[in-house]
Structure 1
Amino acid sequence: MVEFTIATERFELGQMISEKSGLDAELERIIPTEECVIPYVWVTGPPLQLDELQETLRQSDEVSSFTALDELVVNGTDKRQQLFRINWVLPELDIIRGIINADGAILEGQNTDGYWLLRFRFSDHEQVAQFYQYLTDENITDFQIDSIYELEARSERGKVFDLTPEQREAITLAAQRGYFSTPRKVTLTELGDELDISEQAFSQRLRRATEEVIHSALNIPHIEIE
Structure 2
Amino acid sequence: MIDLNIDMRQYDCPFIDTTDDADVAFSAVQWQLDTDAKKLETRLIAKGESRGELEDGLRRLRAHDNMNDCYVLSKQDNVAQIGTVIDETNAMRTIQRNGGYITGPFQIENGREHWHIGFDDDEDEDETLAELERHNDFDVENRDQFGATTLFDLLENSNSAMHLLEGCRSLTETERKTFEAASQFGYYETPREVTLEELADHFDISKTGVSMNLRRSERKILDAAMSALSSLDGESIGSEP
Fold conserved between structures, TM > 0.5: yes
Give the whole-Å Cα distance in 2 for the aligned partners of 1:133 and 1:149: 19
Structure 1 residue 108, shift from structure 2 partner: 1.7
Give the whole-Å Cα distance in 2 for the aligned partners of 1:28 and 1:85: 10
Matched AA of 2:71: T
Say which of 120, 140, 143 aligns to 1:148: 143
Percent identity of paired positions between Structure 1 and Structure 2: 11
Say which of 69, 78, 89 aligns to 2:73: 69
Say which of 136, 150, 163 aligns to 1:170: 163
Say which of 211, 219, 225 aligns to 1:204: 219
More helix by share: 2
Aligned position for 2:20 = 19
Give the whole-Å Cα distance in 1 for the aligned partners of 2:135 and 2:68: 28
Question: Is 1:57 the counterpart of 2:61 in the alignment?
Answer: yes
Give the whole-Å Cα distance in 2 for the aligned partners of 1:180 and 1:99: 37
Count residues with an aligned counterpart: 174
Aligned position for 1:38 = 41
Structure 1 residue 43, shift from structure 2 partner: 1.1
Structure 1 residue 11, shift from structure 2 partner: 5.5
Aligned position for 1:2 = 4
Contact 2:7–2:141 (Cα < 8 Å) also in 1: yes
Give the whole-Å Cα distance in 2 for the aligned partners of 1:60 and 1:181: 37
Where do 5+ consecutive residues of structure 2 fail to align?
174-214, 226-241
Give the whole-Å Cα distance in 2 for the aligned partners of 1:181 and 1:13: 33
- Structure 2 vs 1, CA of residues 153 and 22 (structure 1 numbering), >3 Å: closer, same or farther? farther
Matched AA of 1:82: A
Say which SS state the counterpart of residue 130 (structure 1) adopts: helix
TM-score, with length taken from structure 1:
0.60
Where do 5+ consecutive residues of structure 1 fail to align?
74-78, 160-164, 183-199, 211-226
Contact 2:74–2:80 (Cα < 8 Å) also in 1: yes
TM-score, with length taken from structure 2:
0.57
Question: Is 1:126 the counterpart of 2:123 in the alignment?
Answer: yes
Matched AA of 1:97: R
Q: Deviations over 1:176-208 (max 9, x none)?
A: xx55798xxxxxxxxxxxxxxxxx999724247
Contact 2:25–2:110 (Cα < 8 Å) also in 1: no
Say which of 35, 42, 47 aligns to 2:51: 47
Say which SS state the counterpart of residue 99 (structure 2) adopts: coil
Aligned position for 1:88 = 86
Give the whole-Å Cα distance in 2 for the aligned partners of 1:39 and 1:181: 31
Give the whole-Å Cα distance in 2 for the aligned partners of 1:13 and 1:181: 33
Contact 2:27–2:44 (Cα < 8 Å) also in 1: yes
